[in-house]
Amino acid sequence: MKRSNTPSKLSPQRGARIALLLSGCCAVCTLTVTGLLPRPLFDALFLCGLLVLSARRIRVVLPHMTPRQREWLYVWVYVPLFCFFLPGSALWRDTEAGLGERIRTPAYVAVAFLFIAAHIFYFLYKNKPKMRKKIVAGNWKMNTLPAEGAELAKGIVAQRATAPAEVNFIVCPPFTHLSQVAEALKGSNIALGAQNCAAEEKGAYTGEVSAAMIAALGCRYVILGHSERRQYYGETSETLNLKMARAYAHGLTPVYCVGENLEEREAGKHFDVVKAQIEEVVCNLTPEQFADLVIAYEPVWAIGTGKTATADQAQEIHAFIRKVLADKFGAAAAETPILYGGSCKPSNAAELFAKEDVDGGLIGGAALKAEDFLGIGQGFAK
Ligand code: 13P
């Protein structure tokens, strides 16, 4: 007989859980029918079971929903409470039946409603890709003195509320500013990142700063493979592989930069260049590491030039990057944030961020003014 090669979705643990649940249900029903378990206790157990199942369904789909869709879900969770428990309380007063009798009908209707709503949302959203993180990261490059950097960070914290809450802001100051900026960001939801880290763990590497050091100063992110480092400091895929490994070893999330220069773009080689930059580094990651990665596409010809890629150009290459990632990592690629960088400012952010595969920006010049930096985040609201 031919056996199917498709692995069974029912793992032994899941099978055991289902068997346990079914035996529990049978036991409770038998005890109730024989009168050993009082009816109100049966009702309470049954309704709690339905509530737990509904909550589990809701928990699974929440990450797949936009904030607006979540608001609707919450409305449908509250509707049964208001619509059924209010008339229920009238029943409570009027009837002379026992407490269990009076509360039973509204409780069953409310929980059934919630159970059905949870399952409708579950089947509608379970197969949709999870919502990707929206990120606006500021790469301060070699700008500001430490005290100025701390002031800038304080300004960003003070005005944070002007940008949508769901946007994740990251600031990446020079190494020398990290402690002071970390102090200024304390208590806020703005994350700290560094602009680079050493390829080595520690030792006689004069002038280098290790991943362990920046992590100890409170960094959660590190920019790696920026075109300025590839161009001026000879950074290659080989060194970047080592740096990525160091970053992950110290719990840092790499913001890995890719992008072509003008010559490559004009020769129509941009897809090949970006593909190679990804395949030579990102494709060496484990699935666990890949799940904790941010990509930044920064066309070199757009960096600091005032020349921005059009939203369509950005979308075209971001979608291509996601496909290259999906070829290696499958469905997980749908969750990788891919940022655009290169003369991004408040006036063009909304158009860029409206594109399906543009999940935010890596900002240079405009990250040096709190209003502009946060103004770019407002691009998500438009
Ligand atoms: P600009 O925003 O100044 O063009 O710089 C982009 C950049 O290189 C961010 O890393």
DSSP output for 327-374: HHHGGGGGG--EEE-SS--HHHHHHHHTSTT--EEEESGGGGSHHHHH
The pLDDT, as a whole number, for residue 331 is 84
The pLDDT, as a whole number, for residue 6 is 42
Helix (H, G, I), strand (E, B) or coil at 294: strand
The pLDDT, as a whole number, for residue 213 is 98
Instruction: Among 195, 229, 344, 348, name the best residue to mutate to test ligand 1's pocket (greatest count of ligand atoms within 8 A of Cβ).
Output: 344
Element of type H or E holding 209? none
Calculate the dihedral angle through the C-alpha atoms of 180, 181, 184, 188, rounding to the nearest 10 degrees: -150
- The catalytic position among 64, 177, 226, 270 is 226
Tally the residues of the chain: 382
Residue range 363-380, pLDDT digits in tens: 999 999 999 999 999 999
CA distance 304 to 143: 13
Does the pTM surpass 0.85? The reply is no
Annotated catalytic residue 226: yes
Q: Residue 41 corresponds to which tokens in the numbers above?
A: 């206790």
Mean model confidence pLDDT for the chain: 89
Contacts of 28 (CB under 8 A, 6+ apart): 37, 42, 45, 46
Evaluate if residue 5 carries a pLDDT over 50. Answer: no
**265 or 28: whose pLDDT is higher?**
265
Residue range 87-137, pLDDT digits in tens: 666 665 655 666 666 677 778 888 888 889 889 988 888 887 667 999 999
Q: Residue 212 corresponds to which tokens in the numbers above?
A: 């362990």
Annotated catalytic residue 298: yes
Evaluate if residue 247 carries a pLDDT over 60. Answer: yes
Instruction: Report CA-CA distances (Å) from 157 to 72, 185, 251, 339, 369.
Output: 30, 7, 24, 22, 12
Q: Residue 338 corresponds to which tokens in the numbers above?
A: 């891919």
Contact of 292 with 330, CB cutoff 8 Å:
no
CA of 279 to the centre of ligand 1 (A): 23
CA distance 374 to 382: 13
